[in-house]
Amino acid sequence: MYAKMVHLRFPREIVNEPIVMNLVKRFDLSCNILKATIYPRKEGMVVMELSGHRKNYKSGVKYLKNLGIKVDNISQDIKRNEEKCFHCGACTAVCPTGALYIERPEMRVAFDKDKCSACELCVIACPAKAMEVNFDKGLLE
């Protein structure tokens, strides 16, 4: 299972393209849409989590890019404050993608940003409040 949070921006010409249906049907991906807007000039924006087989994810993203959609990964929006993290491991209970995991035998908590879907569950579950959200201002425009 591979999951990633992506930020899509698309030009007005393809606002009518049923991209979610195609991602599901042609690439066997799940789409969880968190935010979607069509702006006054008719260009669109979507924040969604795409999950499925890694290979399908890659071809799905390729399909989006070929349509002229700008695809940005927003995983880097969750950051770990290395000063605050004391490596207890409590976050690993809630991380749905395995981005936060324990390195054994050292028992250090590792954070693999590539696997992070920016669901933010760790942000509230971390006792030391070491997981921080870095808002990408672009998403709020």
Partner 1 sequence: MANHKTKKTIDEINRRIKEGKVVVVTAEEMVGIVKENGPGKAAKDIDVVTTGTFSPMCSSGAFINFGHSKPPIKASQVTLNDVPAYAGLAAVDIYIGAAEPAIDDPLNKVHPGQFKYGGGHVIHDLISGKKVRLVARAYTTDCYPKREIKKQIRLSDLPYAVLVNPRNAYQNYHCAVNLQDKMIYTYMGVLRPKAGNANYATAGQLSPLLNDPYCMTIGLGTRIFLGGAQGYVTWAGTQHNLSVARGKNGVPLEPGATLMVMGDLKAMNPRWLVGVSMLGYGCSLAVGMGIPIPILNEDIARYTGVSDDDIFTQVIDYGKDYPAGNARSLGVVSYAELKSGTITLNGKTIQSVPVSSYVRAREIAGILKEWIQKGQFYLGQPQHLLKDM
Contact between 55 and 63 under an 8 Å Cβ cutoff? The reply is: no
Burial class (CB in 10 A: 0-12, 13-18, 19+), 124: exposed
Q: Quote the least distance from Cβ 42 to partner 1, whole Å.
A: 38
User: Closer CB to partner 1, residue 11 or residue 96?
Assistant: 96
User: Closer CB to partner 1, residue 61 or residue 95?
Assistant: 95
Answer yes or no whether residue 108 interacts with partner 1 by CB under 8 A. yes
CA–CA dist 141, 111 (Å, integer) = 29
Q: Which of residues 62-101 bind partner 1 (CB under 8 A)?
A: 84, 86-90, 92-94
User: Closer CB to partner 1, residue 103 or residue 114?
Assistant: 103
- Total interface residues for partner 1 by CB under 8 A: 20
The piece of 35-43, 47-55, 60-68, 102-110 that touches partner 1 (CB under 8 A) is 102-110
The DSSP string of 64-124 is: HHHTT-EEEE-GGGEEE-TTT-----GGGGT-SSSSEEEETTTTEEEE-GGG-----HHHH
Answer for which of 106, 135, 137, 140 binds partner 1 (CB under 8 A) is 106
User: Closer CB to partner 1, residue 61 or residue 109?
Assistant: 109
Answer for which of 129, 132, 133, 138 binds partner 1 (CB under 8 A) is 129
Burial 14-52 (b: 16+ CB within 10 A, else e): eeeeebeeebeeebebebeeeeeeeeeeeebbbbbbbbb
Q: Which residues bind partner 1 (CB under 8 A)?
A: 84, 86-90, 92-94, 102, 104-108, 124-125, 127-129
